[in-house]
Structure formats: C-alpha cells, structure tokens
C-alpha cells in the first residue's frame, strides 16, 4: 500500500490527476503491475488506476508468454474501486482487494454496490488516513485554483474592511 500511495501522490503532483494509485501482486506478494489514475493525461474517463494496471499486468504476462492467473492476484488500491473497476475486477476473478478509504459516491465494494460479494475478498481501511489526506490536499488545491483571484480579492476586501473598522484605514 505504501507504493500505491506513492503512485497516487506522484500522479497528483506531476499530472494533477485525482490521487489514486494501485498495485497488483501475485501470491508471493511480488508486484505484477502498478499504476495511478491517467484520466487527465489520457483525456479518457475510463483510465482509472485499476484499469491501467490491469492493462499493464496483461502486457507483462503476454510478454512472458504466460497467461495470468488472476485468482492468485491481489490488488492494493488507495481508494475503494468504483463500480466500473469493481465490475472488471470481479470478471477477472482476483482473489482479494485491499483498499484505503471508501468511495462514497461511486464505490463498487460496499459503498454504493457490493460487486465484490461472491467474487473477491476485501480488506478496507488500510492506511486510510493517508489516502484521505491525499484527496483532501487535491481538492483543496483544485478549489483554490477554481476560485482564483476572486478568492484573493475577497480576502483583500475583508482585510480592508477589518482595517477600516479598527481605524487603521483612516490614517492613509
């Protein structure tokens, strides 16, 4: 999960992506593929970290000429897979998914739908606080960017008003 968090952090820092990272491991806990969100970079709404990593894992197994046994793979992902990704993971038949924080709007592993049930095990809350913190920092940055100069303007206005109220403004 540490690696998944690093990938999420890099994605937001370098590409301004929504900070989600993930790593697939085999049953020896060896990494098979890893990825972060690429929706902005690819300008494609389906390039979630999980789907990018699935592509990577398939390429890896094709290059080795060995089909991948998904039933022996587990996924570590910083946020609960969305409905689209949880459905893909169910169809592949992965063994287990560890995730950090819940995805209250689109979660497919318990929050909105429970697509994992009968398909793969989940363990939630792994390094949850760090995953939440990445989202918080991302959305704080996005909000301040969206508000732009108006937000600063408001602050200056408030400061001037406060200064006037305290009588400081009268001296200038």
Instruction: Give contact residues for Zn ion (rule: CB under 5 A).
Output: 48, 82, 85
Nearer to Zn ion, 39 or 157 (CB): 39
Q: Is 50 considered catalytic here? A: yes
Provide CB contacts within 8 A for 110, sequence distance 6+: 80, 102, 116, 122, 124
Smallest distance from the beta carbon of 32 to Zn ion, in angstroms? Answer: 18
Contact 70, 41 (CB under 8 A): no
Smallest distance from the beta carbon of 28 to Zn ion, in angstroms? Answer: 26
3-state SS, residue 70:
helix
What whole-number distance in Å separates Cα of residue 62 and Cα of residue 98?
Answer: 25
Provide CB contacts within 8 A for 68, sequence distance 6+: 32, 57, 58, 60, 61
Nearer to Zn ion, 48 or 127 (CB): 48
Smallest distance from the beta carbon of 79 to Zn ion, in angstroms? Answer: 9
Q: Would strands 21-25 and 96-101 be described as parallel, antiparallel, or unpaired?
A: unpaired
Nearer to Zn ion, 32 or 82 (CB): 82
Give the DSSP letter of residue 117: T
Per annotation, catalytic residue among 50, 128, 130, 142: 50
Nearer to Zn ion, 139 or 158 (CB): 139
Smallest distance from the beta carbon of 22 to Zn ion, in angstroms? Answer: 10
Could you give the residue numbers annotated as active site?
50
């Amino acid at each position: 999960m540490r690696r998944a968090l690093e990938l999420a952090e890099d994605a937001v820092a370098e590409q301004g992506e929504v900070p989600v990272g993930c790593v697939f491991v085999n049953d020896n806990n060896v990494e098979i593929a890893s990825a972060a969100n690429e929706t902005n970079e690819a300008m494609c709404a389906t390039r979630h970290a999980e789907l990018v990593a699935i592509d990577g894992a398939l390429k890896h197994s094709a290059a080795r000429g060995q089909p991948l046994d998904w039933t022996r793979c587990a996924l570590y992902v910083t946020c609960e897979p969305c409905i689209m990704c949880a459905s893909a993971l169910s169809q592949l038949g992965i063994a287990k998914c560890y995730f950090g924080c819940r995805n209250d709007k689109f979660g497919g592993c318990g929050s909105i739908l429970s697509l994992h049930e009968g398909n793969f095990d989940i363990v939630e809350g792994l390094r949850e606080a760090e995953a939440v913190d990445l989202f918080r920092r991302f959305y704080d940055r996005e909000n301040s960017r969206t508000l732009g100069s108006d937000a600063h303007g408001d602050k200056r206005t408030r400061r001037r008003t406060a200064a006037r109220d305290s009588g400081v403004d009268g001296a200038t």
